[in-house]
């Protein structure tokens, strides 16, 4: 079932207020069906006429992408025509569409950035060789534990991911109640993780924390 795009908007302007639609000269049309096959927006249907063979018919004019004229370019008999471009420029000016266009451009960049970040993350995930979950507990307070953790992995082929601090209650935190910290030790290359774990355990003990488990 072909989609009807006549109720959509073109940069904020109702599509039906933008008169960019193709017209087919039935006399010039030889029914080659190239427009029907070329248009990706299902603007055309082909009719079987009595005695005159096939003829292209503009069935969904407002499905046409504003500014596109591909079908007219490929039509072998120049049977397809479009309004003058001035008509589109007039709509652009009258409806002041560029504020909306800038917002759409921003959205497009954000979307592209999000996709790139996701692909990067997936790539990273796919190439991860080591993934070890560690849980430690204790009073983290002013110990600069994260800075020391970062120092520990800085020159090693490992990273720390998905780090989470689980604080039982906010009041508890103020009163120095023990909290849990979870993180994953990861590496994208095959490397013995044991020396790092040993150093980590020393760091945990030196900071008065408790090594709960590793998985
Ligand atoms: S491309 Fe031109 S000649 Fe061919 S069917 Fe379409 S309008 Fe007719
Ligand atoms: S101009 Fe483009 S979108 Fe419009 S009918 Fe032709 S091929 Fe389809």
DSSP 69: -
- Distance (Å, whole) CA 38 – CA 168: 62
What is the whole-number distance in angstroms between the Cα of residue 35 and the centre of ligand 2? 8
pLDDT grade for 177, boundaries at 50, 70 and 90: confident
pLDDT > 80? residue 141: no
Kindly list the protein residues whose Cβ atom lies closer than 6 A to any atom of ligand 2: 22, 38-39, 41, 43, 64-65, 68-71
- Average the pLDDT over 185-206 and give the result: 88
Counting ligand 1 atoms within 8 A of each CB, the residue from 25, 26, 28, 29 with the most, and so the one to mutate, is 29
Domains of the chain: 9-98 (3.30.70.20), 128-210 (3.30.70.2690)
9: left (phi over 0), alpha (psi -120 to 50) or beta: beta
pLDDT grade for 3, boundaries at 50, 70 and 90: very high
Q: 21-64, pLDDT tens digit by residue? A: 999 999 999 999 999 999 999 999 999 988 889 999 999 999 99
Task: Say whether pTM exceeds 0.85.
Answer: no
pLDDT grade for 106, boundaries at 50, 70 and 90: very high
| Ligand that comes closest to the CA of residue 5 | 2
Residue 180 phi/psi, 5° resolution? Answer: -110, 145
User: Residue 75 contacts by C-beta under 8 Å, 6 or more apart in sequence?
Assistant: 32, 34, 35
């Amino acid at each position: 079932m072909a989609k009807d795009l006549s109720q959509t908007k073109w940069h904020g302007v109702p599509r039906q207020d933008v008169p960019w639609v193709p017209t087919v000269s039935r006399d010039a049309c030889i029914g080659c069906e190239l427009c029907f096959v070329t248009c990706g927006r299902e603007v055309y249907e082909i009719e079987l006429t009595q005695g005159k063979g096939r003829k292209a018919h503009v069935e969904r004019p407002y499905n046409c992408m504003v500014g596109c004229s591909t079908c007219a370019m490929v039509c072998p008999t120049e049977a397809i025509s479009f309004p003058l471009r001035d008509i589109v420029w007039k709509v652009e000016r009258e409806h002041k569409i560029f504020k909306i266009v800038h917002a759409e451009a921003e959205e497009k960049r954000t979307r592209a950035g999000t996709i790139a970040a996701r692909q990067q993350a997936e790539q990273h995930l796919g190439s991860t060789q080591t993934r070890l979950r560690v849980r430690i507990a204790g009073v983290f307070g002013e110990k600069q534990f994260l800075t020391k953790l970062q120092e520990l992995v800085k020159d090693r082929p490992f990273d720390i991911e998905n780090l989470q601090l689980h604080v039982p209650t906010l009041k508890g935190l103020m009163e120095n109640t023990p909290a849990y910290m979870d993180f994953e030790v990861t590496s994208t290359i095959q490397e013995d993780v044991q020396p790092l774990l040993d150093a980590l355990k020393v760091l945990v003990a030196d900071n008065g924390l408790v090594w709960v488990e590793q998985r």
